[in-house]
Chain A
């Protein structure tokens, strides 16, 4: 396996988040009763004509720009001709000769290094309807027919299933930043097909590729590609040949298998769509899209590293989720120890969200409450340990940390007399440990600290306790 390298290209189909379909005024919303979001245009009735939804074009251009593509000056559409019952006109309006945009790239982090994955093209097209197969008959729901779809095709620059996973995560993150799609693989608003081939290391020629379909999560894509790469290498190693074919991923069994339906070599007979006159993409519209473009994950990651002095890893984790990164920045305007904010967000807060299936937007934690709590730790009002439970109290009650601390009497004990008493008691009750310490076992002091903390219900400042313990033991028992 080590002598082989894997070559992967991904095709992502993305449903754009427009109110209406791409060539008619029907609602593009998901989940309506079958065939209720239809009209003569999206049903392809004789005599009906498409009219481009400019919002879909704008969203498409936004994606193209975010992927560093060159957007075409002139917008053209083509017809892709093939017969299928879910395709009302028996041709799909798509873009072929001159796509919306070409030649972009996406940066991924792989093995701690940046890698550019080329984007071949991004083009706009209409989605098909959905077939529902029953026994002896098939039904068609045309609600989805004509919803705007963006096809994003990568160059075969991806060298491992893991990189494919990174590519998809990075892409999804960008798409969420620019808010163009729900990006939901289960609902089908984001679909991914993969082309994969293998070749001996050092060879330039590409191997025979297979196309993998039917993957319904990013992890499934990775698993399918891992299986397929292994299968191809094994086939070649045992003297076999790879057949160019489409294979379906069976997620339950974790294997890819040839599509059973007979493969016909399609001739789509593309030609310019005569019902949609080509037009120049208005420069001011493009300018507006550019101007309104939010900061994207990659530049933001770099900024987080320089502006907040975060590590590569911390910055990457935070920016991968736009809401999380936004939350971090809100906190950072109130509290200046950025690394500490990051630790809390990526530690206790993320763990809590994961446990309860929440996102930062749905979590009941105002940024000023978090930073207020961090302030209290700094001022010695509460201990870090208390803060951990306080955080959960804030989230549960929605109350501000100061009132909660007062209400529950969680203030750290700063009164040395009280701690003195506890220290004296602990030393008395744990003579053997104290002896150990004095006998040179430095670590033994920590056991005593724990006991003091327990006695003070965690409210003593641990640093202070250590000092006082050492002070008390210095003179011997």
Chain B
């Protein structure tokens, strides 16, 4: 029956009726993985026997987890050699929440090393392929999670988004990717890339599943001082309301140079469609948009340089052998354990924080970050949501941008601002390029108003067929 192709809410319905058991779902998922993952390389830690065992012990739906979220006693490596063999002694808060609701943790998905990238090429396990074209990247850094959902190897998956790491791969793989408001979901147990930007979110086949999964993982957590004590609405109900009369802003800064023409066409058509559904779409300006990438690569790398210091070979993960001093152990371990992009970002961040440069780089970046946030505050005084393309281009070829980090960094040009401002954003499928590559529409909302963006997403999704399209593999 290929239950692996269904959505979570569809499967729940069947489970509730007693038509199927969760073992049936598990079996179909396992079969899909066996058939497709050799080609895709979306899943990095997976034990078939264990997965079956866990399914038998539970009644819930199977889910995949990005490799940077801690699952007790299971490999959690951030797709980095430096964490090879690392099994955390504790569960991330989101994992505890999933387990409480009977979800079955199937395995870990591939990612850019420590989430540093937009293509999943910097993984120590090799790149994940885009299910729509195996010569192309799936986006990143949650490329494994996006690809396995798109290829029906998974019902849904968790990812993390620091500068677009959920939304961009969702767009490039043709699935729904939701980054919640900063503080909506606990970061406890998410191995930090940039603490002030990271947020765990969902990769799903449709908007209703995003709503369902978001409700499960949300909520204030006493273990995370940056999680915010706000109540969690029942998204699944509210998203089905009409969007008539909603005021929607379309920022002109997101439609200029560098935007692929096919992507632009699809996104503009989607905006028209949303207008037809009753929302009022108008132009808006977010004047500091052009600084977002620069600000991001200072703030994010600065935090990363400090967050990654602990990978020093002392307590866990890789430790270089045959060293004579503690300095040598540090240097060798980190030289061996980190890939090129991780090293690049650690060096960049260390430089940005170093004395004499701090004011010019880090402090100035923080000031501009405030301006970017102010742009959104002003826009959201007039509008309920903002529509943009998710990514300037569709999926690019593997290897195409690895030699040119700056071009790679521009892949996140439309998604980064939401992280800097801490606002929620969702990417939903809105068309295909002439080469049959998926295009994503990004909907941004006010802080803690995931409800509105999911409502716009749901209304659009139900009025179109894009989310039903699946790659032939």
Contacts and interface: CB of A to CB of B under 8 A. Distances in A.
Interface of A: 40, 43-52, 79, 81, 83, 85, 88-91, 140, 267, 269-271, 274-277
A277 B306 CA distance: 17
B223 A88 contact: no
B70 A79 contact: no
B358 A275 contact: no
Given A40-B90, A81-B309, A48 B188 contact: yes
Given A47-B70, A271-B302, A90 B309 contact: yes
A275 B310 contact: no
A47 B315 contact: no
Given A47-B192, A51-B225, A271-B358, 13 more contacts: A44-B310, A45-B88, A47-B88, A47-B191, A48-B188, A52-B225, A81-B306, A81-B353, A85-B326, A267-B355, A270-B358, A271-B302, A274-B226
A274 B196 contact: yes
Contacts of B83: 46
Nearest to A41: B223
Given A47-B190, A79-B306, A90-B312, A275 B353 contact: no
A140 B314 contact: yes
Nearest to B91: A47
Contacts of A267: 354-355
B353 A89 contact: no
B190 A277 contact: no
Nearest to A86: B314
Given A83-B330, A90-B312, A271-B362, A49 B354 contact: no
A269 B223 contact: no
- The secondary-structure label for the interface of chain B is loop
Interface in B291-330: 302-303, 305-306, 309-312, 314-316, 326, 330
Contacts of B196: 274
17 contacts: A45-B89, A45-B90, A46-B86, A46-B88, A47-B76, A47-B190, A48-B90, A48-B189, A49-B225, A83-B309, A90-B310, A140-B314, A267-B354, A270-B353, A271-B302, A271-B303, A274-B195
B449 to A, nearest CB: 20
Contacts, number: 100
A52 B226 CA distance: 12
B350 interface: yes
B241 interface: no
Contacts of A47: 68-70, 76, 88, 92, 188-192
Interface in B72-94: 76, 78, 83, 86, 88-90, 92
A79 B302 CA distance: 11
Given A85-B326, A275-B226, A277-B225, A269 B315 contact: no
Contacts of B88: 40, 45-47
Interface residues of B, number: 44
Given A43-B315, A90-B310, A269-B353, A49 B303 contact: no
A46 B316 CA distance: 10
Contacts of B226: 49, 274-277
- The secondary-structure label for the interface of chain A is loop
B355 A269 contact: yes
Contacts of B400: none
Contacts of B355: 267, 269
B2 interface: no
B306 A88 contact: no
Nearest to A266: B355
B345 interface: no
Given A79-B306, A83-B312, A49 B224 contact: yes
Given A40-B90, A271-B362, A275-B225, A49 B314 contact: no
A269 B222 contact: no
B313 to A, nearest CB: 10
A49 B195 CA distance: 10
A48 to B, nearest CB: 7
B310 A46 contact: yes
Given A85-B326, A275-B225, A45 B316 contact: yes
A49 B358 CA distance: 25
Contacts of B187: 49
A97 to B, nearest CB: 10
Given A267-B354, A274-B196, A49 B310 contact: no
Interface in B359-375: 362
A270 B353 CA distance: 7
Contact of B89 (A40, A79, A88, A277): A40
Contacts of A275: 192, 195, 225-226
Interface string B207-235: 00000000000000011111000000000
B229 to A, nearest CB: 12
B150 to A, nearest CB: 27
Interface string B2-27: 00000000000000000000000000
Contacts of A85: 312, 314, 326
Given A90-B310, A91-B309, A46 B191 contact: yes
Contacts of B90: 40, 45, 48
Contacts of B303: 271, 274
A340 B240 CA distance: 87
Contacts of B223: 49, 51
A52 B223 CA distance: 10
Nearest to A273: B195
Contacts of A52: 225
A19 B461 CA distance: 54
Nearest to A51: B225
Contacts of A43: 315
Nearest to B90: A40
B361 to A, nearest CB: 11
Interface in B252-273: none
A275 B197 CA distance: 11
A89 B314 CA distance: 10
B155 to A, nearest CB: 25
